[in-house]
């Protein structure tokens, strides 16, 4: 090869090397641009670095893992109902017409407070019979006292005295029978008077709230239809249906926590008071009941609720210690359950495959893959997953 040709070859080789270096530089710049677009720097070891302000915008929250007592519990959806042991359906004992209504829907009532006044023909007849019995009793009593005085002086025949005594005792019995009939009809006769009106009051048996009302002026009421429903709402029943698989974990007396959408973040404590002895053949579930206090009246019957029932307390022998993470901390990466661990020394978020266990009260037990003391992303894991996938796509291009 001539000298001129050698010079030409070396010149072309230098140009090729320069172009190659320029291409590599552009590729590196291109990858950096994708990492920047993803909102973080993709580390060489598969982790992800974020600036503090970026982590804050992504809603990332860390939690330091620690072994905690694990209570066996179940979560079920439920409905709130009035305590049926403290609920009264109030109807008249006899047919009558409503002449006045003094209680209204939602009113708080006292024990013995009149809810409505009714006029009854049956009570009018019973009152008339009681008045007649009172009059007959007075006559019989006067005759007996006179006969008793004559008997002492031996002026009256013995048989006449005994007849007066018998009439007096019969009059006493008639008065008691008339009084008992009035009481059975829900009216207490007043002492010292012969008259009892045909009207009577329908009263509240205990303190509570009027939750149903059908009484109206002029309405003809009967014993078969309640005019008022009064409930003591200071305690409520949370009723849920348990599947057969959950039955072994729920026992009467077990503590329970109830949450409702109306009060986010608040928990109401109660306990299981009843588990049905039979399975509902139609729904194939077992009804269960939780009783909770409601002194402030914030919980309302017919609300939907979520209940978490603990079958073994933290201090019981059945409770064991385990590492758990929030359910939202776990994401799927390449089909594997994964959490993000914050490596403080490297300042990056590292993906870590784990072996999840059972779910307990919004958390998942971690059987392997994590150790106590490590910091995991408790909130914002899905945002990290999206950024990591985006940066990986950028690297491929």
Q: pLDDT for 345-379, tens place per residue?
A: 788 899 999 999 877 767 888 999 999 999 999 99
- Which pLDDT belongs to residue 43? 56
The CATH number assigned to the domain with range 121-197 reads 1.10.287.470
Are 190 and 69 a contacting pair, CB within 8 Å? no
Task: At 381, give phi and psi (nearest 5°).
Answer: -65, -35
Helix 121-152 crosses helix 158-184 at what angle (to 10 degrees)?
160
Q: pLDDT for 232-283, tens place per residue?
A: 999 999 999 998 888 888 889 999 999 999 998 889 999 999 999 999 989 8
- Which pLDDT belongs to residue 18? 44
Q: Say how many C-beta atoms besides its own lie within 10 A of residue 285's C-beta.
A: 17
- Which pLDDT belongs to residue 40? 57
Domain with CATH 2.40.30.170 in the chain: 73-84+232-311
- Which pLDDT belongs to residue 46? 60
Nearest CA among 338, 356, 358, 353 for reference residue 70: 358
- Which pLDDT belongs to residue 27? 44
Q: Please report which confidence band the pLDDT of residue 58 belongs to, taking 50, 70 and 90 as the band edges.
A: confident
Greatest pairwise CA separation for the chain in angstroms: 179
Q: pLDDT for 186-218, tens place per residue?
A: 777 766 555 667 888 899 999 999 999 999 999
Nearest CA among 127, 291, 252 for reference residue 198: 127
The CATH number assigned to the domain with range 73-84+232-311 reads 2.40.30.170
For residue 53, the SS3 value is: helix
More confident site: 202 or 316:
202
DSSP for 247-305? GGG--TT-EEEEE-TTSTT--EEEEEEEE-SS-BTTTTBEEEEEEEE-TT--S-TT-EE
Give the Å distances, CA to CA, from 253 to 43, 266, 290.
53, 22, 9
Protein fold of 39-72+312-397: 2.40.420
- As a three-state string, the secondary structure of 182-248 is HHHCCCCCCCCCCCCCCEEEEECCCCEEEEEECCCCCCEECCCCCCEEEECCCEEEEEEEECHHHHH
Domain with CATH 2.40.420.20 in the chain: 39-72+312-397
Q: Stretch 91-99: mean pLDDT, rounded?
A: 92
Are 286 and 276 a contacting pair, CB within 8 Å? yes
């Amino acid at each position: 090869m001539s000298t001129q040709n050698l010079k030409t070859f070396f010149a072309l080789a230098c140009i090729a090397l320069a172009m190659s270096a320029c291409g590599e530089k552009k590729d590196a710049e291109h990858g950096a641009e994708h990492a920047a677009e993803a909102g973080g720097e993709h580390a060489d070891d598969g982790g992800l670095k974020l600036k503090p302000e970026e982590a804050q915008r992504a809603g990332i929250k860390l939690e330091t893992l620690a072994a905690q007592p694990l209570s066996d519990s179940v979560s079920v959806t439920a409905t709130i109902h009035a305590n049926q042991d403290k609920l009264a359906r109030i109807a008249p004992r006899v047919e009558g017409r409503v002449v006045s209504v003094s209680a209204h829907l939602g009113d708080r009532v006292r024990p013995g407070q009149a809810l409505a006044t009714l006029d009854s023909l049956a009570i009018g007849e019973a009152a008339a019979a009681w008045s007649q019995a009172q009059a007959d009793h007075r006559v019989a009593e006067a005759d007996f006292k006179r006969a008793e005085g004559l008997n002492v002086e031996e002026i009256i025949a013995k048989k006449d005295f005994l007849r007066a005594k018998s009439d007096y005792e019969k009059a006493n019995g008639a008065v008691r029978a008339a009084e008992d009939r009035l009481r059975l009809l829900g009216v207490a006769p007043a002492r010292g008077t012969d008259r009892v009106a045909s009207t009577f009051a329908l009263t509240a048996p205990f303190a509570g709230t009027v939750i149903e009302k059908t009484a109206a002026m002029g309405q003809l009421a009967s014993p078969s239809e309640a005019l008022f429903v009064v409930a003591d709402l200071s305690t409520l029943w949370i009723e849920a249906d348990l599947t057969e698989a959950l039955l072994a974990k729920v026992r009467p007396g077990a503590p329970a926590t109830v949450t409702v959408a109306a009060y986010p973040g608040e928990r109401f404590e109660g306990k299981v008071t009843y588990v049905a002895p039979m399975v509902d053949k139609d729904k194939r579930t077992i009804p269960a009941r939780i009783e909770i206090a409601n002194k402030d009246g914030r919980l309302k019957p017919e609300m939907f609720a979520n209940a978490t029932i603990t079958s073994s307390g933290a201090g019981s022998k059945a409770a064991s210690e385990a590492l758990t993470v929030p359910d939202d901390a776990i994401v799927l990466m390449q089909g594997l359950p994964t959490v993000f661990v914050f490596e403080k020394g490297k300042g990056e978020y590292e993906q870590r495959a784990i072996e999840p266990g059972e779910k307990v009260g919004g958390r998942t037990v971690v059987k392997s893959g994590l150790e106590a003391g490590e910091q995991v992303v408790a909130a914002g894991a899905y945002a990290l997953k999206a950024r990591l996938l985006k940066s990986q796509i950028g690297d491929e291009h």
